[in-house]
Amino acid sequence: MGHRLSKIYTKTGDKGETGLADGRRVAKDHPRVEAMGELDTLNSQLGLLLAELNEEAARYPGLGEISAVLAPCQHRLFDFGGELAMPDYQALQENEVARLEAAIDHWNEELGPLQNFILPGGSRLVAQAHVCRSLARGAERRCQQLNAEEPLRPVGMAYVNRLSDLLFVAARLIARRQGIDEVLWQAAEKPLAP
């Protein structure tokens, strides 16, 4: 990837189109561009989560491990976005999906089975991890929409799916390591019979 941006604005997108690396011009709301945008949004929010984890790691040393597992995910999301921008480019590998699965399994051993539905909250870090999880689900939906029109490599789809699972488990683990109770869902009271 030797192509670098020397000029940030090009004025070529002013009429609602953007260029892909293969030279194609597509509408800015094309499913490929939508999927790339959702991955970018997720990556930005993941960057915020990592910054906050690193700030809190001195107070809660167990957060460093979570940060170390999540940090490479930013790079892999960028790789996947690159694959979407350059359809012939392949960067994301199966071993990255396996790495996420291993982390999920390891963290779940510490957490134990989930007994209740939980809500985002309890601490800013927990809530931010859930923001990332929900954005990963949105990115996955956008990728599925694109995949229906232009088939994608299965590894990218699996990676985003597993990343959302990892972020859910990470949110739970953050709460545990901060010593914060998870926010449990409470069903609405049933109305009294007339």
Instruction: State both tokens at 45.
Output: 């929010």
User: How distant is the alpha carbon of residue 9 from its chain centre?
Assistant: 27
* Beta-carbon-side half-sphere exposure of residue 148 (alpha carbons within 13 Å): 8
Residue 119, strand partner residues: 183
Global model pTM greater than 0.85: yes
Taking 80 as the threshold, does the pLDDT of residue 3 lie above it? no
Closest CA to 77 of 121, 39, 113: 39
**What local confidence, expressed as pLDDT, does residue 132 receive?**
98
Give per-residue pLDDT as tens, 9-23: 566 556 677 777 777
The domain 21-184 having CATH identifier 1.20.1200.10: the answer here is yes
3-state secondary structure of 29: coil
Measured between alpha carbons, how far is 18 from 10 in angstroms, rounded to an integer?
A: 10
Q: What is the pLDDT of residues 49-91, one digit of tens each?
A: 999 999 999 999 999 999 999 999 999 999 999 999 988 889 9
| Token couple for 181 | 């109770």
> Under a CB-based contact definition with an 8 Å cutoff, are residues 104 and 162 in contact?
yes
Average pLDDT, the chain: 91
pLDDT number for residue 190: 87
Domain map (residue ranges) of the chain? 21-184
Compute the radius of gyration of the chain from its Cα atoms.
19
Q: Which position has the token pair 């929900």?
A: 134
Largest CA distance in the chain: 72
Q: What is the 3-state secondary structure of 20-86?
A: CCCCCEEECCCHHHHHHHHHHHHHHHHHHHHHHHHHHCCCCCCHHHHHHHHHHHHHHHHHHHHHHHC
